Structure 1
Amino acid sequence: MTAKGIVIGEDGLQRCAWQGNLDDYRRYHDDEWGRPVLDDRRLFEKICLEGFQSGLSWLTILRKREAFRAAFAGFDFDKVATFDETDIERCLADTGIVRHRGKIVSTINNARRAQDLRQEFGSLAGYFWSHEPPAAERPAKVTYEAIVANPTTAASIRVSKDLKKRGWTFVGPTTIYAFMQAMGLVNDHIEGCHCRAVVEEMRAKLVRPLGRVA
């Protein structure tokens, strides 16, 4: 008998049920979600796409990810920071992405704020990993019930408030928690998922960036 929130795939492996045994979603679950990320471009991409996801499913965004990358210069935030009204109109005409003016404008704004974070902390990784939840805030056991019951955490609330003070937009605590889960700042693969131990080992070996204050 498998734990609630766990499904067994055709390959016999247990996985978090949210990936639905869909090929692309399963690959995302197995190869990306929860694995710790230190690359600034990937961190910026994910926080922007989480903002675009608001009100939609992550699967919808995942299937549009390549179009988003094309529209936003591969999420190179130095390039996105230079976008102007012409770029906004170009994105609004792009049927491959979510055409929401507020979220497009937010991505450009957040690119500029990302430059500020890099100036202060040396990198986006330096900033975000400085907010990794301490051991005392991590659950002893990650269960389906706990994940469903808690769409935010104390850490995601702290980061959301801090980013908003710094001028970021579309970074509510639920969005930030999803970002932290995906980027490996927490390991929320449910107990029993075959990826949990893999991610835990990666996190144990990870050399965290120290960050710096200008």
Structure 2
Amino acid sequence: MKNRCFWVTDSKIYQEYHDHEWGVPVFDDAILFEFLLLETFQAGLNWLTILNKRENFRKAFDDFDYQKIATYSESKYQELLQNEGIIRNRLKIQSAITNAQLFMEIQEEFGSFSSFIWSYVDGKPIVNCCHQREEVPAKNIISDKISKDLKKRGFKFVGSTVMYAFMQAVGMVNDHTRNCFKFHDSCK
């Protein structure tokens, strides 16, 4: 049996996510947007709830196609509010549309969202070498800065804690703990 980070339950979907996605660097804008959307819906909820609904989100939000989401009509918004397979929070659904529009503005300004977001960590992951669960932060100075910058641009549901979780999800920060089989070799 593999040793995993403290937060991983015996849920197969959680284990798969931990083993194959969490902390793996992502530079593809489409995948970055997927995680941004999912993390904003996760705000105030358990990540496992979101993982269990991920495929429902994928179907409801056109495969996380930010170009389509940015143009959603009022009728599509109303349809999403009725979709029992996702989190039916009015503000979060509206923020997905707004954030998609702003995501594309960043792409236009920086060439890609990836270039923009990874510039906060100079293009390489931060490896925290956490030995115990108490050492894993909920946010840091960088997530504070990203949150502030995104909010200034008009993004919603991008508080520092949400942005830190996003950073962990897309591998901008590696917080696998010492007892985890994914713990970075340079930390041992």
2:162 aligned to which of 170, 175, 195:
175
* 1:85 match: 74
* 2:20 match: 31
Secondary structure of 1:192's counterpart equals coil
2:47 aligned to which of 58, 69, 73:
58
Which stretches of structure 1, 4 residues or longer, exceed 2 Å deviation after superposition?
137-143
* 1:48 match: 37
Deviation at 1:141, TM superposition (A): 4.2
In 2, the alpha carbon distance for the partners of 1:67 and 1:140 equals: 34
Q: 1:30 to 1:139 in 2, by over 3 A?
A: closer
Secondary structure of 1:151's counterpart equals coil
1:22 aligned to which of 1, 4, 11:
11
Answer whether contact 2:24 2:171 (CA < 8 A) is retained. Answer: yes
Answer whether contact 1:46 1:179 (CA < 8 A) is retained. Answer: yes
In 1, the alpha carbon distance for the partners of 2:101 and 2:38 equals: 16
Secondary structure of 1:65's counterpart equals helix
Q: Name the aligned partner's letter for residue 76 of structure 2.
A: D
Secondary structure of 1:191's counterpart equals coil
CA shift digits 1:168-193 (9 cap, x unpaired): 11100000000001100010011121
Structure 2 residues not aligned, in runs of 5+: none
Aligned length: 185
Counterparts of residues 1-214 of structure 1 (less than 5 Å): 11=1, 13-132=2-121, 139=128, 141-147=130-136, 150-197=137-184
Secondary structure of 1:178's counterpart equals helix
Secondary structure of 2:156's counterpart equals coil
Q: 1:80 to 1:134 in 2, by over 3 A?
A: closer
Answer whether contact 1:133 1:185 (CA < 8 A) is retained. Answer: no
Q: Name the aligned partner's letter for residue 117 of structure 2.
A: F
Structure 1 residues not aligned, in runs of 5+: 1-10, 201-214
What root-mean-square deviation, in Å, do the aligned CA atoms of Structure 1 and Structure 2 show? Answer: 1.8
Q: 1:190 to 1:43 in 2, by over 3 A?
A: same
Identity %: 45
Q: What is the TM-score when the length of structure 2 is the normalising length? A: 0.92
CA shift digits 1:33-71 (9 cap, x unpaired): 110001111111111111111121000010000110111
